[in-house]
Amino acid sequence: MDISESPQWHDLEKQSIGFDDLRLADMFATQPGRTEAMTTRLGDLIVDWSKHRVTADTMKRLFDLARTAGLRERIAGMVTGRRINTTENRPVLHTALRAPVSAVIEVGDHDVVPDVHAVLRRMSAFADRVRDGDWTGQTGRPIHTVVNIGIGGSDLGPVMAYEALAAFRHDRVRCRFVSNVDGSDLVAALGDLDPATTMFVISSKTFTTLETLTNARSARSWIVGRLGEDAVAKHFVAVSTNSDEVEAFGIDTTNMFGFWDWVGGRYSIDSAIGLTLMLAIGPESFLEFLDGFRTVDEHLVSAPLETNVPVILGLIEVWYRTFCGLPTRAVLPYSRYLHRFPAYLQQLDMESNGKRVRRDGAAVDYQTGPIVWGEPGTNGQHSFHQLLHQGTTIVPADFIVFGTPDHSNSEFTGVEIHHDLLVANCFAQAESLAFGRSADEVAASEPDPALVPHRTFPGNRPSTMIMAPRLTPSVLGQLIALYEHQVLTQGVVWGINSFDQWGVELGKKLAVAIIPELSIDGSPTHAHDESTNALIDRYRAMRGRT
């Protein structure tokens, strides 16, 4: 089905012609109670979407479009294990990772929920041993540093959540993360560590991922060179499904934690991929993290579309990206601890919905997948917010803010005012983006008429405000699931498969071909385009390999 041929699509195309005439100031002036009507509580999250350039009629048409696209049916298909990832013939069951033990979710004739909880129990037992100091390294000393080696979803999720939940970390166990195949990443991570108190978590489903295994082998050499070959089994564990490769590496397969092909990498933080996070925050907090996901999952399944928060926000993004031509979206967490959250959402959204063909293989003729980016406040206010306020491109923004500061238990005095200042800036940015400052308002206080246009703010820039009492494990789970299900909503309406990622394959295959050409003795056989061949020769000359 080509959704762009539907009457509902055409209705929205017609309505978007008047997008430039939609003024937020006018909407608030003529719609008393707009804020209350467009603010929804979901678990601990309070989501205010009143500052979006949408009318009640716009939303009605978007809900109609979602029904035409079969959104409700796709949601049901996802959570019940149907193979909605059609290009890989797989279910999409990240929601099963946080299902209660009493749930029944079948893939084929097999209930996967007991498998999920069995892995969680093994993870918990292992984490308790490390955290309590019962797990010791080759020299008999407990582990002080865990180094997570992975890439993509095996890195972005764990490092983002580890940073976000700093207030909940173990007093002794600290974690570092290595993903980039640039050797500087590994060197920086290991430079000041004691091998005797260091453990590595190697996260690779196939245990063949080039970047991950390159870093893992170098880490292995580091351990073996200092503690001997027998130390590998005591200083390495694996998150993988390939027991043969894990065993060949020297890892005891009893310390291998598996997951399943129905878990996509960017959706895997709540699987065994979250082992490093569990080591940091403990099993109890990790289970609270999963509870937060489940809160939003249950809301997605049960709430009508008109009050379904991830559906609402996903449809608003469809409106902006596809019908109004807005190419990008900013995520602005007013929390230092969420400094990796925008990068995490880049992968979640752009790897999922950066697609140019529909599920049936036909090319789309409309815009999908916004460019997602961001930076924590207030740092961003002194860099790119200039463009948000006065640039020529309208950038919808998501603000995320908390009632209680992350440093509430700090021994430092005099920092309480910091949080009031932080929150004031967050609210002020959303207000000024929405309502701006007119030329007449500027002229009333600006004596130099030549400066009036420079100090005028057009306003009418849309945003969402997401608030919660505090950044806890549960709240972080709720935030992640909120965005996961927005991505699902957008992909369903666009008619694309949000759960494959073929776009990452070609570059990886070409890199494998190029690697030996960089280091081979003698002149390599040129097998690429003129530019790439020249780059290979230039690099070889820099390394003295000509």
Q: Contact at 8 Å (CB) between 485 and 310?
A: yes
Spatial distance between the Cα atoms of 55 and 309, rounded to a whole number of angstroms: 16
Spatial distance between the Cα atoms of 108 and 111, rounded to a whole number of angstroms: 8
14 is catalytic: no
Residue among 9, 14, 2 at smallest CA distance from 66: 9
Q: Contact at 8 Å (CB) between 263 and 245?
A: no
- Residues 6 or more apart in contact with residue 401 via CB below 8 angstroms: 333, 334, 335, 422, 423, 426, 427, 465, 466, 467
Q: Contact at 8 Å (CB) between 130 and 122?
A: no
Whole-number Cα distances in Å, 388 to 52, 59, 157, 397: 15, 24, 28, 9
**Which residues does residue 468 pair with via DSSP β-bridges, in sequence order?**
402
Residue among 400, 347, 287, 340 at smallest CA distance from 161: 340
382 is catalytic: yes
DSSP 8-state symbol, 526: P
- Residues 6 or more apart in contact with residue 263 via CB below 8 angstroms: 93, 94, 97, 271
- Tell the burial category of 512 from Cβ atoms under 10 Å away from its Cβ (0-12, 13-18, 19+): exposed
Q: Which amino acid, residue 36? A: E
- Residues 6 or more apart in contact with residue 172 via CB below 8 angstroms: 131, 133, 142, 144
Q: Around Cβ 349, how many Cβ atoms within 10 Å?
A: 25
Spatial distance between the Cα atoms of 228 and 57, rounded to a whole number of angstroms: 69
Helix (H/G/I), strand (E/B), else coil: 383: coil
- The alpha carbon of 80 is separated from its chain's Cα centroid by a whole number of angstroms, namely 23
351 is catalytic: yes
Determine which one of 10, 14, 60, 508 is catalytic. Answer: 508
- Tell the burial category of 361 from Cβ atoms under 10 Å away from its Cβ (0-12, 13-18, 19+): exposed
Token output for 161: 């959540």
Determine which one of 163, 211, 317, 351 is catalytic. Answer: 351
Catalytic residues: 351, 382, 508
